[in-house]
Structure formats: C-alpha cells, structure tokens
Amino acid sequence: MSGWNLAELMRVAALLGAILSLHDSGAVAAETGKVHVMQSLTEADNERTVDLRVGESVRLTLPENATTGYRWAIDRLDRDVVEEAGSEAHPSRGPMGSAGQVSFDFRAKQAGSGEVALKYWRHFEGDASIVKRFSFRLNVKP
C-alpha cells in the first residue's frame, strides 16, 4: 500500500475547504445524513420555475434598503407544497444608508406545484406602498 504524495493531500485539503466554505455560506445543507446543494435565486430569477424534491430548499436573495422603510415580505405562499424556512437580513458594509440584501429560505414539503410571491413595501403604509413584486413557481417531486 503506497502513501499519498503532497500534491494529492493538497487537492483533498482544497476540496474539503471548498465544501466547508459552501456549507458555511448556506449553499449546502445537511438533512438526514444527506448533503445536497441548495438552489439560489436572485432578482434576475423573477417568475422562474424551480424543480425540487421533497425536503430540498431554495434560497432567494434580493436587494433591500431597510433604512428607507421598504422591506421584502412574503405576500403569498402555497403552504401545502412549500414552507418558509427562515430569513436573514444582510446589511450593507458600505456607508450608512447603503442598500443591503435579504435572504429567504423555502423548503419543499410535499409533491405538487405552488407559488411563492413577495412584495417590496412599507408595511406601515399598506399595499398602496408596494413598488416591486417577485414570484417563482415550485414543482416538487417526491
């Protein structure tokens, strides 16, 4: 049995580092002993259709400037097919008042089709303040 050479060890270390980096960023999720890559959506994916299997997740990241009072909020969610799995604000690292981002995670609950719709609004001003909308469809397989 031969030992590993330095180049092989470095490749393995680089691969492990990349996997850990993806996990820390939320791009990889561990569920019931399995590892899968979480799909990511951005503003460019408006009205896209996403295919998932039950238990898999999708992360939506949108630009947001909460200092203006405008925030993204879930407007509609087909709860039979998908559930919200959390959200997280990512403030800007720039000057005060700069726009940041917000991420929403959604998990496929059961097979079927459903829609997720969000609105960018000032909740304290009601629906008349909606300035943007975002939606995507889910096709969930067992």
- The domain ranges of the chain are 1-37, 38-141
Q: Which two tokens stand for residue 114?
A: 């459903």
Rounded Cα distance between 75 and 52, Å, is 21
DSSP H or E segment with residue 7: helix 6-25
Sign of CA dihedral 27, 131, 113, 79: positive
Q: Would you place residue 28 in the very low, low, confident or very high pLDDT band (cuts 50, 70, 90)?
A: very low
CATH class of 38-141: mainly beta
**What's the Cα-to-Cα distance from 72 to each of 21, 60, 91, 117, rounded to whole Å?**
27, 11, 14, 10
Q: Give the bridge partners for 59, in sequence order.
A: 40, 105
Q: Is the pLDDT of residue 67 over 60?
A: yes
Q: Would you place residue 31 in the very low, low, confident or very high pLDDT band (cuts 50, 70, 90)?
A: very low
What percentage of the chain carries pLDDT values higher than 70? 74
